[in-house]
Chains A and B, each alone.
Chain A
Amino acid sequence: MKVSLNWLREFVEFDENALADLLTRAGVEVEGVEKRGVALDKVVVARIVRSERHPNADRLSVCQVDDGSGQPRQIVCGARNFQAGDKVPLALPGAILPGDFRIKASKLRGVESEGMLCSARELELAEDAEGLLILPATARTGAPLAELFPPDTVLDIEVTPNRPDLLSHGGMAREIAALTGKPWKGLDSQAIVHDGGADVRVEAGAECPLYSATRVANVNVGPSPDWLRKKLEAIGSRPINNIVDATNFVMFERGQPLHAFDAGKIEGGIVVRFAREGEEFLALDGRKYILGSRDLVIADSRRVVALAGVMGGEDSGVTGSTTEVILESASFDPAHVRRTARRLGLRSESSHRFERGVDIGNILPSAGRALELMGGAVTGVGIAGNPVRQRREVVLRYARCDALLGTAVGDDRIDRILTGFGLKKGAGWEIPSYRNDLAREVDLIEEVMRVVGMEVIPSKTTARFAASSDADRAYDRDMALRRTLAALGFFEARTLSLVSEGFRRVRNPLNEEQSALRSSLLPGLLRAVETNARFGTKDVRLFELGRVFGAEEETTHVALVMTGASGERSWRDPHPRQADLFDLKGVLAAARLGEIAFEKADGDSLDVLLDGRRAGRAGQAAAVLFAELELPAAAEGAGKGSCRAVGIYPAIARDIALVLPEEIPHGRVLEILRKGNEPLLERAELFDLFSDPEKLPAGKKSLAYSLTYRAKDRTLTADEANAAHARLKELLKAGLDVQFRE
């Protein structure tokens, strides 16, 4: 909300320089400060008498101006947007313009210039403006420019939704008075009184607890007085005419939105009711809206004339020919106003205030205030509902306040603070009608907190012993895995949970690309690979560890993608080979999640088995290698594990080279070796693989293994190792179509 300090000063005294900080510290955040007007000495209104081309410069002109002193003054000027008779700002010698620009009499290209004619930008009245600022012809020649552009400071304040009482200058002043202890000058206006002279019927009493209509005859619609226009302009509200301006002025002064109907266009009495389903309404913005049965409206006997609290109608508003108006001042249920305003996409200063709740005690005095400004003659007032709010009291225990704040504020101080906010001490604290947000003890404690400030609260550091939770275990497991994968050369990616396809779609997506919860991390990672490729990074290794969404459950997946070369090209290896599936498999194994195996599956991808259980899939998509696994729940006692004693007697290694049909997999060989249960065999490692038609028969391949033999309890003899080796050879021969190469 925009707040003019000039306007504010009518209600309370304050230190302008300290105000923004004072309010911000009290939770009324000042987000912007705007200086308006011209606060410059020696800048006056001048009339251009005549102008001629500069004898020595095509782009300049030499003007004779009247500065009101009676003495003619000569100014050299570079602008061209003026003519003789125009009134323009003149900075006299001695003036200091923004940017510490000192004006002095001088010669420009040989011609005397006694001052400078100014543009709006030079006076900081506009951000960019070409040429001189042409002033209204009515401006008094010689008058200080501050008369036309009174200096003011306008604050942009963020008012939290619980404080509608601050949405006006009067209300903001009341808060400042409470915070500083300065007197608040008040908002006294004569409340209107029901006389039955205006016909009002409220059919929705719960949603409209109070409605007043005041008929005013003999109004003259025309421009508002200058002082009122200036106030509205200062806070960015465009003046329209004296009637509409009066309603807006009262809203900005007292917080109560008002509306004025052209009485001549209202047929019969005013009715506050719900709209009929499908009923049409032509709003002030010129657009037609289709209403529903939950929209609260103001109607006459024929049609809807206003959306309650949101916007008036196009064909019932005040125009230049209006002579009689009906002034509305009322209270509407915040939820209904909000629903209607949102549904129709109509937001206004009025709906903003009604959505947060207006002060029921302020409704009838606000109408009275508007009547003072509008002129004309009141011919009748109709009021429906009760303007007196029920008395409310809230109890505050001083000890509770101290305990919650963690400091002893002092009972007297608490009393002073609450009294300052307009609360009255009795058995409890009586709450004023404009503070509906104060309903519980804790709300009062917050008021105390706002005034005493966080500075007086001590900083207490308390720690507790915290047992680790399932979430702790999962977090530690996940972080360890992330670090391992990073150490293996992968960068961690974080991609969006919303993708184009998944089991669960969002009802109201922003766009199709982000319309469903991901059931896999791969679409996001593949997209990231594309992004990298687009910027020229060809060798990409990324992983992500994050949540994926099934039809019901949320689980944690880890996924890896890999493209390009297996290693970095360098002087060591100018032609690194292309990465392949086994590079990825090696990384999965090195991540030590468990024993990793790949298994052919239906379709293009492979199943990834983790400790023998199907845990995910791997494969290649658009030349990108990928693998994705679901991580099991992190087990309690992770990090513990049994340890086998390592052998202390020397081992004997024997190599074996097998020639096999191409289709027999390595896994089969391993299986046979393992099933032999040879007690001396410690390890069997594949160290060579080839199928060379020059060296091997067609359809054959060679697999070479290094077998390590070791006894647990003694130094193995060569004879023992050879015997075990021979036994394994026999097993392989029995199980496979195999020959041994020497």
Chain B
Amino acid sequence: MEEELQRIGAEALTEIARAGSEAEVEASRVKYLGRAGSVSAWSERMKSLAKEEKPRIGKLLNETRAAVAEALERRRAALDSEKDARAFASLDISLPGTPVRPGGLHPITLLQDRAAAVFRRMGFALAEGPDVETEWHCFDALNTPPDHPARNERDTFYLPDGRLLRTHTSTVQIRAMEQAPPPVRIIAPGAAYRRDEIDATHLAQFTQMEGLYVDRGVSVADLKGTLEFFFRELLGAGAKCRFRPHFFPFTEPSFEIDIRARASGKWLELAGCGMVDPAVFEAVNGKRGDAAYDPEEYTGFAFGFGLDRLAMILSDVPDIRGFIENDVRFLSQFR
């Protein structure tokens, strides 16, 4: 009895060791361990064994079953690894990969997202406002007098109802302050429109990023630190910023920011900024009907820059119209 079981076990191990394929391994499994397999059959025979034989034979049966199962698993693993090892043996591995169609984000979106990421890391929240704006939000509230040249029909798109297409994203400064009392710390990427004839460096529509920080004690030093940090993060630690005094109706003092990305490079005028003009706070207070933005108590800085121009410079784009033509040969160059 014992001999027979041992013989079956030995026979199974020999057969399994010889199995040359997954199918042969499986056949051996069925033959020995399957429901009607010869090892399994012993389980039935156990019932009819004498009581004193049961522990001994039962132990042997379990050992045999375990040995066979282990051999099956080992053989299977051995066959698998042989197969893996041979998998590429006969292939022309110089063939190109199965093509996966590429897609990608627009260069302006990529830049906008990088810029937004830097400011968000500094604790700026996003804000937005409509493209179609009132004259008040676009000009009056921003301390731009009624006869200012920018308000002319030659330079600004107007709708029949007197509203206009915002000429800068600075409108969002006003929207943000209307909606909430200070402190305000926002950035606002978005479209702006100017009635410029389209050429290699001008579009009638462009993308800007606006920023505003109003709180107690905000100074030119905060403005400088924030924008220097931003441009270094965006352009690399070697980037240099130069703040050149300038004039904007809605900031005082005002600056233009020239950036030099590399020590050997040229200074490029990339952004405008300044301390929020008290007249802007007063206009917002008037609209809010309170004195939340008391210019004696609160100060702030604001900035804005064009993403199109920045993208042109960063990627050596020769013609700004590339950004609106959407030629995939152009779009596929940006990552």
Binding site for B on A (CB under 8 A): 24-27, 29, 160-163, 334-335, 338-339, 342, 403-407, 440, 442-443, 445-446, 449-450, 454, 457-469, 471-472, 474-475, 479, 482-483, 485-498, 504-510, 514, 517, 525, 528, 531-532, 535, 537, 540-542, 547, 549, 554, 567-568, 570-572
Could you say which residues of chain B place their CB within 8 Å of the CB of A338?
Answer: 147, 149
A15 to B118, CA, bound (A): 42
A454 contacts which of B147, B224, B247 (Cβ < 8 Å)?
B224
Binds A, one of B15-23, B82-90, B96-104, B284-292: B96-104
A25 contacts which of B116, B204, B221, B244 (Cβ < 8 Å)?
B244
Asked if B219 and A403 sit within 8 Å, CB to CB, the answer is: yes
Could you say which residues of chain B place their CB within 8 Å of the CB of A535?
Answer: 327, 329
| Number of chain B interface residues as a range | 35 or more
Asked if A442 and B252 sit within 8 Å, CB to CB, the answer is: yes
Could you say which residues of chain B place their CB within 8 Å of the CB of A404?
Answer: 219-220, 275, 299
Asked if A549 and B132 sit within 8 Å, CB to CB, the answer is: yes
Q: What does the 1/0 interface line of B311-335 toward A look like (CB < 8 Å)?
A: 0000000000001111111011000
A29 contacts which of B160, B207, B244 (Cβ < 8 Å)?
B244
B46 at the interface (CB under 8 A from A): no
A691 to B327, CA, bound (A): 40
Could you say which residues of chain A place their CB within 8 Å of the CB of B226?
Answer: 461-462
Given contacts A404-B275, A469-B126, A472-B126, contact A540 B98 (CB under 8 A): no
Asked if B329 and A494 sit within 8 Å, CB to CB, the answer is: no
Could you say which residues of chain A place their CB within 8 Å of the CB of B165?
Answer: 497, 506, 517
Given contacts A507-B160, A528-B326, contact A462 B225 (CB under 8 A): yes
Could you say which residues of chain B place their CB within 8 Å of the CB of A508?
Answer: 153-154, 157-158, 195
Asked if B255 and A454 sit within 8 Å, CB to CB, the answer is: yes
Q: What does the 1/0 interface line of B196-230 toward A look like (CB < 8 Å)?
A: 01100001110100000001011111101110110
Binds A, one of B47-55, B56-64, B105-113: B105-113
Residue pairs across A and B with Cβ atoms less than 8 A apart, 24 shown, are A160-B247, A163-B247, A334-B147, A342-B154, A403-B219, A404-B219, A405-B220, A406-B219, A442-B278, A443-B252, A462-B218, A475-B116, A489-B103, A491-B103, A506-B165, A507-B157, A508-B154, A508-B195, A528-B326, A531-B325, A537-B327, A537-B329, A540-B328, A567-B101
Given contacts A335-B147, A531-B327, A542-B326, contact A570 B98 (CB under 8 A): yes
Asked if A442 and B277 sit within 8 Å, CB to CB, the answer is: yes
A571 to B94, CA, bound (A): 12
Give the top 7 A-B pairs by smallest Cβ distance, nearest first.
A406-B221, A27-B245, A406-B219, A489-B101, A160-B247, A568-B99, A459-B225
Given contacts A27-B245, A162-B247, A482-B105, contact A446 B252 (CB under 8 A): yes
A532 to B330, CA, bound (A): 10
Q: What does the 1/0 interface line of B146-171 toward A look like (CB < 8 Å)?
A: 11010011100111100001000000
Q: List the B residue with the shortest CB-CB distance to A451.
A: B245
A339 to B159, CA, bound (A): 21
B191 at the interface (CB under 8 A from A): yes
A554 contacts which of B113, B131, B255, B329 (Cβ < 8 Å)?
B131
Q: How far is the CB of A468 from chain B (nearest CB, A)?
A: 6
- What is the predominant secondary structure among interface residues of chain B facing chain A? mixed
Asked if B243 and A454 sit within 8 Å, CB to CB, the answer is: yes
Q: How far is the CB of A290 from chain B (nearest CB, A)?
A: 19
Total A-B Cβ pairs within 8 A: 240
Q: How far is the CB of B99 from chain A (nearest CB, A)?
A: 4
B26 at the interface (CB under 8 A from A): no
Could you say which residues of chain B place their CB within 8 Å of the CB of A27?
Answer: 244-247
Give residues 228-263 of B contacting A (CB, 8 Å): 228-229, 242-247, 252-256
A485 to B332, CA, bound (A): 14
Asked if A464 and B185 sit within 8 Å, CB to CB, the answer is: yes
Q: How far is the CB of B23 from chain A (nearest CB, A)?
A: 22
Q: How far is the CB of B141 from chain A (nearest CB, A)?
A: 17
A446 contacts which of B124, B131, B228, B245 (Cβ < 8 Å)?
B245
Q: How far is the CB of B249 from chain A (nearest CB, A)?
A: 9
Q: List the A residue with the shortest CB-CB distance to B228.
A: A459
Q: How far is the CB of B143 from chain A (nearest CB, A)?
A: 11
Asked if A460 and B278 sit within 8 Å, CB to CB, the answer is: no
Could you say which residues of chain B place their CB within 8 Å of the CB of A572?
Answer: 98-99
Asked if B219 and A532 sit within 8 Å, CB to CB, the answer is: no
Asked if B157 and A506 sit within 8 Å, CB to CB, the answer is: yes
Q: How far is the CB of B265 from chain A (nearest CB, A)?
A: 17
Asked if B221 and A493 sit within 8 Å, CB to CB, the answer is: no
B310 at the interface (CB under 8 A from A): no
Could you say which residues of chain B place their CB within 8 Å of the CB of A450?
Answer: 245, 253
Asked if B122 and A463 sit within 8 Å, CB to CB, the answer is: yes
B34 at the interface (CB under 8 A from A): no
A491 contacts which of B152, B277, B328 (Cβ < 8 Å)?
B328
Give residues 116-130 of B contacting A (CB, 8 Å): 116, 120, 122-128, 130
Asked if A161 and B106 sit within 8 Å, CB to CB, the answer is: no
Given contacts A493-B106, A508-B153, contact A462 B222 (CB under 8 A): yes
